[in-house]
Amino acid sequence: MIETSRIEKRPGIMVAFDMEDVPSAIRLAEELSAADGNFAIKIGRPLEMQTGKEVISKVRDATDLPIVYDGKIADIPYISAKIAEIAYGAGADAVIMHAFVGADVMREVVNLGMGDVITVIEMTHPGSVEYLGHFSEKLIRKTSEIGVDGIVLPATRPERVSALSGLLNGDSDSETYIISPGIHAQGAEPGDAIVNGSDYEVVGRAIYQSEDPKESAEQIYRQAISRLGGV
Ligand code: FNU
């Protein structure tokens, strides 16, 4: 089945919705729809746990921006696909799952054909490379083979974004987009990942905890894009 991704492979900001207050999430979704820049929304577990899948539907009703459900799915194939199916059914365009759980789990979720699949290759925190660091190259090759739509690489380690995105982009036809958390609250600066080959920088606290989240999102977008030069 050929499906068109709603998440375009071009530089942008994916705003992490980890606030625990549903009305403020809906408000920010509405505001971001009118914001200047390329934005997507990522709904994390702290927000999801407030109401369950309904919050995905409520955000869906509030905006046309792409919505990613960040459940970091990591279970057996049947359960992983079930979680993904519920998230897509509620209105998510994409789900985030772990790659380390294995090719069988990734295939099961991809084969649903209900939306994008984004796999976590390497995380932003130091412990991510403590045990699994050596597997990132292997995981990228496997995800490319399976045909996932997007991957997660850490803005906190720009040199890894550069090296690992190079593996993906070695295949010049690659449509796989890269999303990179770690901006501000975890120490990276806007643009650190994008200049190294990432497409979306994921930003949570620096936006939703700021006084004017829409303005902060637009400002971070401008800062990241300006580092590409001449845009
Ligand atoms: P902020 N996130 C992350 N690191 O931070 N999905 C990863 O390696 C990863 C993620 C998410 O620090 C995290 O769950 F795979 O407040 C949170 O939603 O800007 C967001 O990215 C970062 O939030």
Count CB atoms within 10 A of the CB of residue 230.
Answer: 5
Residue 162 gets the label, from left (phi > 0), alpha (psi -120 to 50) or beta, of alpha
The reply to whether ligand 1 has any atom less than 6 angstroms from the CB of 156 is no
The pLDDT score that the predictor gives to residue 168 is 82
Question: Rounded to an integer, what distance in angstroms lies between the CA atom of residue 10 and that of residue 192?
Answer: 15
CATH of domain 12-226: 3.20.20.70
Token pair 């991704």: residue: 5
pLDDT band at 229 (very low <50, low <70, confident <90, very high): confident
CB atoms within 10 A of CB 140: 25
Q: Is 9 a catalytic residue?
A: no
Please choose from 202, 205, 208, 210 the residue to mutate so as to test ligand 1's pocket, defined by most ligand atoms within 8 A of CB.
202
Tell me the whole-structure pTM to 2 decimals. Answer: 0.96
Residue with tokens 């069988």: 104
* Any atom of ligand 1 within 6 Å of the Cβ of 203: yes
Q: Which of 9, 53, 58, 72 is catalytic?
A: 72
Q: Is the CB of 44 under 6 A from ligand 1?
A: yes
Encode pLDDT of 165-217 as tens digits. 989 866 556 789 999 999 999 999 999 999 999 999 999 999 999 999 999 99
Q: Residue 168 Cα, ligand 1 centroid: separation in angstroms?
A: 21
- 6 compared with 222, residue with greater pLDDT: 222
